[in-house]
Chain A
């Protein structure tokens, strides 16, 4: 089974991008399963279900959604195999720019949109810099010049990635993403595979449910602002 991991900034159009792309994959006769990881609530599963594919939802609730995601990769893979899927699409929550859900040997797709700001690609971090394929959406909302400059800023952060323009409303460009998936996502087993980038450590008293502000309530891995930092 091929394994595709989709990450991206909030509201960049991850689900719309994948719905258009999965339609093409279904036309090729592939069986697709989709798992959506989110935090508290999601309605993306309803949209995926309209495609007639198997859909699962994992809500992280009080746990960091990306830690939740890593801890469930084997279970999600097993579920997709039970659905007799040729291809598993795992859409992550798309919140924290610091986390890096990409796993070696899975195809990692990062979705980012033209409206998010010219300096954002630099701030996004491993989610963008370790992606195999980067999809840029909302090109119809900006000028030719802005599209070209934004794409350049993205390529500076990840020079090796394939970069695609895709319109989430019309599906323009989704055929290229389908081809990327078929050409590069090879069948794989997730157990024992390695994350491309370590996740941030966060084991402090607030992780364990502490709610009071103040030094005497803080324990564990606590980091403080360096006010001497120079630009």
Chain B
């Protein structure tokens, strides 16, 4: 089945009132961010997409694929690999080496060249996180950031599904802009739950959640795109400061860059 679009048909909010947004179409290649205060129903929205809800979940929403309701029992096997999720989990529980695990997962997903693929997975994971990991390391020994980086790389290259759901990737201590870039492949539908202005504005559209319901949908305006460019510049500065501090350098003292001084004036 070729995926062209996913549609979310509105259900009800936490008080049982109809959601303001009655229909939300997400086309192949589109990135949608899901925003709202904590507890407003962001994670539930992506859970509804993940399980192809048919009015049976708490929200009463329905999910259409290419404009049609899905027959979950009949198309179970083809639907299973259509959605991949990067959740808020920060640790692996399976006790084995990274190499054995990735090979096993590549086998499950019938990947053509497993040996090459798992090397690529590892190199992406190392681009995203701090101290490098190796194939011989045990999954359960990885730090939170290393684990999350490996999960992102695995979803990008091995799970590699046409729909990707990303839940608060900014909490992982990894390079989140790069992670989003890696996960947003050509023609994929990507839903990004986030509290991070940069990530929110990188999406072409955003849905605002309130009291468990879809409240409003915004297209990212040209003025917002301008603000996004400024944010990305600030982010680069922020990352460079963080990297200097992390790797044992000083910032803001004589001889370092002037932005650093401007950002941290002496009181």
- Contact surface of A with B, Cβ cutoff 8 Å: 24, 114-115, 117-118, 140-146, 148-152, 170, 172-173, 175-176, 179
Contacts and interface: CB of A to CB of B under 8 A. Distances in A.
A144 B95 contact: no
B154 interface: yes
27 contacts: A114-B93, A115-B93, A117-B95, A118-B94, A141-B93, A142-B89, A142-B92, A142-B94, A143-B89, A143-B92, A143-B151, A144-B87, A144-B155, A145-B154, A145-B158, A146-B93, A148-B105, A148-B109, A149-B101, A149-B105, A149-B108, A150-B94, A151-B108, A152-B104, A172-B47, A173-B51, A176-B72
A164 to B, nearest CB: 9
Contact of B94 (A24, A146, A172, A176): A146
A130 B3 CA distance: 36
B84 interface: yes
Contact of A172 (B57, B72, B105): B57
B184 interface: no
Given A114-B93, A172-B51, A145 B101 contact: yes
Interface string B52-89: 00101110000000000000110000000000111101
Given A148-B108, A176-B73, A179-B73, A140 B87 contact: yes
State the main secondary structure of chain B at its contact with A: mixed
A149 B93 contact: no
State the main secondary structure of chain A at its contact with B: helix
B104 A143 contact: no
Nearest to A180: B73
A188 B14 CA distance: 42
Contacts of B105: 145, 148-149
Contacts of B86: 144
A114 B85 CA distance: 16
A172 B57 CA distance: 7
Contacts of B93: 114-115, 141-142, 146
A141 B87 CA distance: 9
Nearest to A153: B104
A22 B61 CA distance: 21
Looking at B73, B93, B105, which has the most chain A CB atoms within 10 Å of its CB?
Answer: B93
Interface string B187-216: 000000000000000000000000000000
B33 interface: no
Interface of B: 47, 51, 54, 56-58, 72-73, 84-87, 89, 92-96, 101-102, 104-105, 107-109, 147, 151, 154-155, 158-159
Contacts of A173: 51
A227 B93 CA distance: 32
Nearest to A142: B93
Contacts of A114: 93
Contacts of A115: 93
Nearest to A138: B93
A113 to B, nearest CB: 10
Nearest to A167: B47
Contacts of A170: 47, 58
Contacts of A24: 56
Contacts of B101: 145, 149
Contacts of B155: 144-145
Contacts of A141: 89, 93
Contacts of B94: 117-118, 142, 146, 149-150
A21 B192 CA distance: 31
A24 B57 CA distance: 11
B76 to A, nearest CB: 8
A20 B105 CA distance: 31
A115 B101 CA distance: 15
Contacts of B57: 172
A148 B109 CA distance: 8
B85 A144 contact: yes
A173 B102 CA distance: 27
B73 A145 contact: no
Given A117-B95, A170-B47, A175-B56, A144 B108 contact: no
Given A114-B93, A117-B95, A152-B108, A145 B151 contact: yes
A144 B151 contact: yes
Contacts of A172: 47, 51, 57
Contacts of B151: 143-145
A179 B72 CA distance: 11
